[in-house]
Amino acid sequence: METVVSGIRPTGNLHLGNYFGAIKNFLKMQEEQNCYFFIADYHSLTTHPTPENLHESVKQVLAEYLAAGIDPEKSTIYIQSDLPEIAELYLLLNMNAYIGELERTTSFKDKIRAQPDNVNAGLLTYPVLMAADIIVHKAKKVPVGKDQEQNLEMTRKFARRFNHIYKVDYFPEPTTFNFGEDLIKIPGLDGSGKMGKSEGNGIFLFEDPASIKKKVMRAVTDSGPSAMNQTVSESVQNLFDIMKQVSTPDTLDFFKEKYASCDIRYGDLKKQLAEDIINFTTPIREKIEDIKANDAYLSKVAQMGAEKARESAVKTIKEVREIIGFRKF
Ligand code: TYM
């Protein structure tokens, strides 16, 4: 049995990108592997949420995880800040992470562009905290979307470096995982880029059907194919990419053929796509409402998860302290 870790920042509702990039694989893995799934609330402090916002978002995301099918009986679901061991490992790994390599990561460069007035040290060391999240359980597999590839490279680097410095073979080097397939990138509805929480281009699992329909009908397309078998434009390919996840293969083929033969009607494509997204999200949305109203259940899940996750984190920290040389007199 392999150890698997994945996480998500509680900065808004879960969207289709989160589901198809990370959660879907996790659902399959929790049947067979030793799985940990957590809410990365330490990470979300880089954007300075208020205490009320932070608490509400963690609750919302926890309810959404559970509604999406993550099963607290099969995997360990916990809140990152319930594990102080993660903060300790982060501190220890920071001593061997270099400013230059951190400054060069794409996510850091993107973040300083997005929040130029708040370039805090937490943003710079974000990949170190992420490495701590993963290796604190000595995980080998990390089901994530394509956008996390570079963070995983950094995790491997920090794990390898620790082993090298202390001449041990302690931490495994974890890899991204998508059952042998390429990692997923769900595009946004704005014609380019990935679907995100803050980009205003996303469809959320919790979103009501009327709003989903409106967003899909407004999605960016092109002016239509003008020659047979023309290469599909990026904006239309984006809609096909989402369709690939939520619709049947026959539906996708039907619209691809219509495109190739130049008689596609984007209104029809969008109507079908909206309907298939709504069919997919409706049962999840209904469950989110039920679970969110059940505070006792949420608190039981969080407590159970924290206890289970701490067992493995405490063991790792104890061994790491010994390796580093923090020994009793
Ligand atoms: P976050 O919160 O941005 O996203 C959570 C998960 O959703 C995936 N994802 C996507 N996949 C495909 N297409 C998209 N458009 C899309 N948008 C988001 C992400 O790849 C991710 O798997 N740093 C992480 C959270 C984190 C973490 C970890 C993940 C912290 N520590 C340790 C794994 C292991 C993040 O910000 O993800």
Q: Is 213 a catalytic residue?
A: no
For a mutational test of ligand 1's pocket, the pick from 148, 154, 197, i.e. the residue with the most ligand atoms closer than 8 A to its C-beta, is 148
Q: What pLDDT score was predicted for residue 30?
A: 94
Catalytic pick among 59, 141, 194, 256: 194
What is the spatial distance between Cα 243 and Cα 45, in angstroms, rounded to a whole number?
A: 34
| Residue percentage of the chain with pLDDT more than 70 | 100
Same domain, 300 and 285: no
Residue 145 Cα: closest atom of ligand 1: 20
Quote the tokens at residue 55: 């608490």
The answer to whether the CB of 319 falls within 8 A of the CB of 89 is no
19-33: pLDDT as tens digits? 999 999 999 999 999
Q: What pLDDT score was predicted for residue 176?
A: 96
What is the spatial distance between Cα 128 and Cα 62, in angstroms, rounded to a whole number?
A: 24
153-163: pLDDT as tens digits? 999 999 999 99
The answer to whether the CB of 221 falls within 8 A of the CB of 236 is yes
Q: What pLDDT score was predicted for residue 199?
A: 72
Distance 17 CA to ligand 1 centre (A): 9
Q: What pLDDT score was predicted for residue 93?
A: 98
Question: Does residue 36 sit in helix, strand or coil?
Answer: strand
What is the spatial distance between Cα 170 and Cα 162, in angstroms, rounded to a whole number?
A: 8
The answer to whether the CB of 258 falls within 8 A of the CB of 278 is no
126-143: pLDDT as tens digits? 999 999 999 999 999 999
The answer to whether the CB of 182 falls within 8 A of the CB of 190 is no
β-sheet bridge partners, residue 204: 15
Quote the tokens at residue 190: 């704005």
Distance 232 CA to ligand 1 centre (A): 28
Residue 202 domain-assigned (yes or no):
no
Q: Which residue is it, tokens 């992420």? A: 130
Q: Is the pLDDT score of 101 beyond 90?
A: yes
Mean pLDDT across the chain: 95
Q: What pLDDT score was predicted for residue 133?
A: 98
Q: How many CB atoms lie within 10 A of CB 132?
A: 27
Structural domain for 32, as ranges? 3-184+295-324
Closest CA to 240 of 223, 228, 258: 258
Q: What pLDDT score was predicted for residue 328?
A: 87
Distance 149 CA to ligand 1 centre (A): 10
Same domain, 126 and 261: no
The answer to whether the CB of 121 falls within 8 A of the CB of 103 is no
What is the spatial distance between Cα 294 and Cα 300, in angstroms, rounded to a whole number?
A: 10
Catalytic pick among 111, 141, 215, 292: 111
Q: HSE (CB half, 13 Å, CA atoms) of 88?
A: 17
Mean pLDDT of the 229-246 span: 93
Catalytic pick among 197, 213, 215, 270: 197
Question: To 5 degrees, how large is the angle CA 59–CA 187–CA 65?
Answer: 20
Q: Is the pLDDT score of 329 beyond 90?
A: no
Looking up residue 251, the CATH number of its domain turns out to be 1.10.240.10
Mean pLDDT of the 83-107 span: 97
Question: Does residue 77 sit in helix, strand or coil?
Answer: strand
Same domain, 79 and 179: yes
189-209: pLDDT as tens digits? 998 789 998 777 999 999 999
Residue 190 domain-assigned (yes or no):
no
Mean pLDDT of the 211-232 span: 91
Same domain, 95 and 220: no
Residue 96 domain-assigned (yes or no):
yes
Q: Is 111 a catalytic residue?
A: yes
Distance 145 CA to ligand 1 centre (A): 6
Q: Whose CA is nearest to atom 24 of ligand 1?
A: 8
Distance 139 CA to ligand 1 centre (A): 16
Q: Name the domain count of the chain.
A: 2
Residue 199 domain-assigned (yes or no):
no
Residue 200 domain-assigned (yes or no):
no
Sorting pLDDT into bands at 50, 70 and 90, what band is 71? very high
Q: Is the pLDDT score of 123 beyond 80?
A: yes
DSSP 261-294: TT---HHHHHHHHHHHHHHHHHHHHHHHHHHHT-
Q: Is 328 a catalytic residue?
A: no
Q: Is the pLDDT score of 311 beyond 90?
A: yes
Same domain, 34 and 114: yes
Q: Is the pLDDT score of 113 beyond 80?
A: yes
Q: Whose CA is nearest to atom 19 of ligand 1?
A: 145
What is the spatial distance between Cα 164 and Cα 161, in angstroms, rounded to a whole number?
A: 5
Sorting pLDDT into bands at 50, 70 and 90, what band is 89? very high
* Residues in contact with ligand 1 (CB, 6 Å cut-off): 5-9, 17-18, 21-22, 40, 43, 130, 133-134, 142, 144-145, 147-148, 151, 184-186, 194-195
What is the spatial distance between Cα 146 and Cα 134, in angstroms, rounded to a whole number?
A: 17
232 secondary structure, DSSP code: P
Residue 278 domain-assigned (yes or no):
yes
DSSP 173-228: --EE-STTSPPP--B-SSSSSB--SSSS---BTT--HHHHHHHHHT----S---ST
Same domain, 259 and 146: no
Q: What pLDDT score was predicted for residue 219?
A: 94
